[in-house]
């Protein structure tokens, strides 16, 4: 039996598993379907990947910054309407699918390295998010990286399933 993982390790594993699942789903999707969304308010597969390329290092850097601060409670992060977040999706939604997948891998690798470099004792440091209030580094990683990636993995599974359903009609 292996030793139990620490909470940071579990969160990093969840993040890596979610991204690996997304990349596997992308392999099942014909590249022409990657740029089409099934609903007007849903993102295409390419838009999801474009978002991940920007989102993963952003939140890993935010977690690192909060962990390194001299005092708890200082502001961090952004909200859904942040122009950079929106621009990343808009500006890269038509990029080559393989290039987007490579970008996701690169972003994930850098983000994991950033998170693993946070000293274990600093995962309890905290900052203040504009909408969610006081959050520890552990909560930042769990909510803005692990859970966020898992939500996009589910979103991508739906996109791929819808395209397979349409292809078999």
User: The pTM is what?
Assistant: 0.90
Query: Tokens at residue 135, please?
Result: 């959050």
Q: Reduced to 3 states, what is the DSSP secondary structure of residue 137?
A: helix
pLDDT computed for residue 1 by the predictor: 40
pLDDT computed for residue 86 by the predictor: 84
Q: Which residues pair with 128 in a beta bridge?
A: 75, 134
pLDDT by residue for the chain (169 residues), tens only, comes to: 444 457 999 999 999 999 999 999 888 887 788 888 776 678 899 999 999 999 999 999 999 999 999 899 999 999 888 888 888 888 998 999 999 999 999 999 999 999 999 999 999 999 999 999 999 999 999 999 999 999 999 988 888 887 766 554 4
Percent helix / strand / coil, the chain, rounded to 5: 70, 5, 25
The answer to whether domain 46-167 has CATH 3.40.1180.10 is no
Cβ neighbour number for residue 141 with a 10 Å cutoff: 29
Distance CA 32, CA 69 (A): 45
Domain boundaries of the chain, sorted by first residue: 46-167
């Amino acid at each position: 039996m292996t030793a139990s993982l620490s909470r940071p390790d579990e969160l990093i594993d969840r993040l890596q598993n979610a991204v690996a699942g997304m990349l596997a789903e992308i392999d099942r999707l014909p590249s022409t379907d990657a740029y089409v969304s099934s609903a007007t308010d849903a993102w295409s597969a390419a838009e999801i990947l474009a978002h991940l390329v920007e989102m993963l290092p952003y939140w890993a850097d935010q977690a690192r910054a909060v962990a390194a601060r001299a005092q708890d409670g200082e502001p961090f992060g952004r909200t859904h309407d942040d122009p950079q977040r929106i621009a990343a999706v808009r500006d890269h939604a038509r990029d080559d699918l393989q290039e987007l997948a490579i970008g996701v891998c690169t972003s994930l690798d850098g983000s994991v390295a950033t998170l693993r470099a946070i000293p274990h004792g600093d995962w309890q440091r905290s900052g203040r998010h504009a909408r969610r209030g006081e959050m520890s580094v552990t909560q930042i990683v769990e909510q803005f990286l692990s859970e966020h990636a898992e939500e996009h993995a589910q979103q991508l599974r739906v996109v791929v399933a819808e395209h397979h359903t349409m292809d078999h009609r």
